[in-house]
Every structure is written in C-alpha cells, then in structure tokens.
Amino acid sequence: MATIYDPAYKLIVARVREARQCSGITQAQAAAKLRRPQSYISRVEAGQHRIDILEMLAFARIYSQPLEFFIQDVAGTPRKRSRG
C-alpha cells in the first residue's frame, strides 16, 4: 500500500495544489466550499492528510477539473493541460 511519502502520492498532492491555484481560489475559500477548516486544505496540500476517493471527487468538483487531472502521469496517462 502506498503511503503519503510515495512519489506517486506526492504527484497527486501537487495536482490538488495546482488545481486550486489555477482555479484562482485561496485555501480559505476552498475550505469554505468543502465546509472544512482551512487547516484541512493546508494539510492536504502539504501531503499530511491522505485523500480518499470521495475527497478527491469533492476537490475535482470545486476546482472544476476532471478526476483524471489529479491522477495523470501517476496512472501512466499523458498529462492534459488544466482549464485554468
């Protein structure tokens, strides 16, 4: 089982951060949309909180990205450009 220290997981975390930045919203705004504290977004983006599939779907929704955006390269598929 992969851990938060796995290079593949670090790519996913980087995609979550990239998607937020491309969407032009702050961590606080993202947290409000998810009804979570800002520290949750910070922990996710720092790789300190392992994201499950339902959380990933929520990030995809609020950042207006397809789920595939977050797992490209990790799943062996070529990377597509973000919509930001």
Q: Which domains are seen in the chain, by residue range?
A: 7-68 (1.10.260.40)
Whether the per-residue pLDDT at 18 is higher than 70: the answer is: yes
More confident call, 55 vs 4: 55
Degrees (nearest 5) of the Cα angle 65, 68, 73?
Answer: 120
pLDDT value at residue 2: 66
Q: 72 pLDDT band (50/70/90 cuts)?
A: confident
Element (H, E) at 10: helix 7-23
Q: Residue 45: what pLDDT?
A: 97
Say which residues have a Cβ less than 8 Å from residue 5's Cβ, sequence separation at least 6.
47
